[in-house]
Amino acid sequence: MADRSKTKLCLTFYLLGGVTSVLVFVLILGIARYRERSQRLAKNHVQAGQRPIPPYGLLEALEIPLPYPEGVLPDENERLQPPKWSFPGFSAGRLVRFLSSCDLRPAQRRILLNPKYCTVTTNGCVITPPATVVWSLNSKARQQIYSALGRNKNNYAQRFPLRFSPDGFEERLAESGLNDRELTKIRRLAYTNSSTICFTDLEAVRNVLAPHRFDDLIEAFYEVPAFTLRLQVTPDSDIDALVSYWGKGGREKLIRPLLKALARVPGGTWINVNYLLPPFPRLRLYTFPDSWDDSTASRQDCLFTALNFFSTTPDTNFLDAAYCQKTLDEQYVPVVEEPVYGDLMVLLNSAGQAIHTAVFIADGFVFTKNGVNHTQPWVIMRMADMMAIYFGPDNSSRIMILRGKSRT
């Protein structure tokens, strides 16, 4: 591997409200390699007969499905539009070949290629499929077509489908309280992308459900898979190790008295990790930008959030792309070891473009402000759940780790 001081890759960050270019020093670490190494270390601990207590201590995670504020559909303007499939760069012949490769019935292809629904221009093709075709697609055809549409930013719904595990999808349907007849209709619109259940056609559903029933479905579908973490502290805990891990960012003296006090509790006790976090993440956890009396809240995207993690007072200069670039270039370095508290976890797509940044907490959890739309809350989330939002089961997704020079 090349010397890390010479490793430089120019990436494009797709941020909220448009495309912003940010150049950063990066070193790419494959997710598969990261997971294999973690599993190997855990296995070695067990084989050695040791209790696998990591540097961050013993954590317990509790999922708290976070609902949006009542009556809020965060991306209504983008998602609840009549279907319009944009195929930029497609000629008429290329569109015919593509649709012929999909699992469509001849009658479906004829309708989609009918000039009444299909427009061919010098810039590409656009299909406005009738509702009958949208409902008639089988799961395979829907996956084939929507995966292609999802590669283009003009197709918001397909680019950012609602993603669920198979069990998670059924759990959300159960939470909605809809009857069996309504649920049968909704399942027809789901499709599978590898092991992930995807759902895109909310506009089609809205047209067949009563308004209050549709609101119930939206509330269930839009729950955010957030977590709260608590740390066990006992008289046997290695307080120095815990302070070293959780006190990064110059906070050792702030948290040591609390951890020492907890260690004196007979039999030990638990503390919510939120109490150990710096002011910026602690105040924002589980809140939504629109709830803040702050004119910049809607612009506080993933990079602003990540770079302000250790801030006492948010630095609004991080709303500026050039300032972010300068900070990343001067104050962060790539690392190849396991991520630790405070590291920046940068997600890259198959083209090597950095599309999201979060902050590593511990045990596979991150502090994140997801950027699918500006209304996303600040949460602690499993890294796997966060990646599923952006990539689903895309095996070409990668992660890079950047660490502040002051914390190396």
Q: Same structural domain for residues 308 and 201?
A: no
Q: Would 240 be classed as within a structural domain?
A: no
Q: Same structural domain for residues 41 and 174?
A: no
Distance CA 244, CA 39 (A): 24
Q: Is the pLDDT of residue 25 over 80?
A: no
Query: How much is the average pLDDT of 196-217?
Result: 92
Distance CA 223, CA 168 (A): 11
Distance CA 221, CA 319 (A): 30
Q: Give the whole-number percent of the chain exceeding pLDDT 90.
A: 61
Closest CA to 186 of 172, 72, 235: 172
Q: Same structural domain for residues 119 and 207?
A: yes
Say which DSSP state 106 is in: H
Q: Same structural domain for residues 177 and 143?
A: yes
Q: Same structural domain for residues 120 and 56?
A: no
Degrees, nearest 5: CA angle 169-387-312? 115
Q: Would 55 be classed as within a structural domain?
A: yes
Distance CA 134, CA 151 (A): 19
pLDDT, one tens digit per residue, over 42-65 is 444 444 445 678 999 999 999 998
Inter-residue contact 129 to 135 (CB < 8 Å): no
Q: Same structural domain for residues 137 and 15?
A: no
pTM for this prediction = 0.75
Q: Is the pLDDT of residue 281 over 70?
A: yes
Q: Same structural domain for residues 31 and 86?
A: no
Torsion 3-26-399-142 (CA) sign:
negative
Q: Is the pLDDT of residue 338 over 50?
A: yes
Q: Same structural domain for residues 311 and 362?
A: yes
Q: Is the pLDDT of residue 304 over 90?
A: yes
pLDDT, one tens digit per residue, over 254-271 is 999 999 999 999 999 999
Q: Same structural domain for residues 89 and 181?
A: yes
Q: Would 98 be classed as within a structural domain?
A: yes
Which range of 73-77, 224-228, 397-401 scores highest in mean pLDDT? It is: 224-228
Strand order in the sheet with 118-121: 85-88, 124-127, 118-121
Q: Same structural domain for residues 361 and 332?
A: yes
Q: What does pLDDT average to over the chain?
A: 85
Degrees, nearest 5: CA angle 380-383-384? 130
Q: Would 234 be classed as within a structural domain?
A: no
Domain of residue 137, residue span:
76-221
Distance CA 339, CA 327 (A): 20
Q: Is the pLDDT of residue 3 over 80?
A: no
Q: Would 92 be classed as within a structural domain?
A: yes
Q: Same structural domain for residues 145 and 125?
A: yes
248 CB-near residues (< 8 Å, 6+ apart): 310, 340, 341, 342, 407
Closest CA to 355 of 3, 7, 24: 24
Q: Is the pLDDT of residue 124 over 50?
A: yes
Q: Would 321 be classed as within a structural domain?
A: yes
Q: Is the pLDDT of residue 393 over 70?
A: no
Distance CA 189, CA 207 (A): 13
Q: Same structural domain for residues 101 and 54?
A: no
Q: How confident is the model at residue 11 (pLDDT cuts 50, 70, 90)?
A: very low
Number of domains in the chain: 2
pLDDT, one tens digit per residue, over 159-177 is 888 888 888 899 999 999 9
Q: How confident is the model at residue 71 (pLDDT cuts 50, 70, 90)?
A: low
Inter-residue contact 228 to 64 (CB < 8 Å): yes
The pLDDT, as a whole number, for residue 396 is: 59
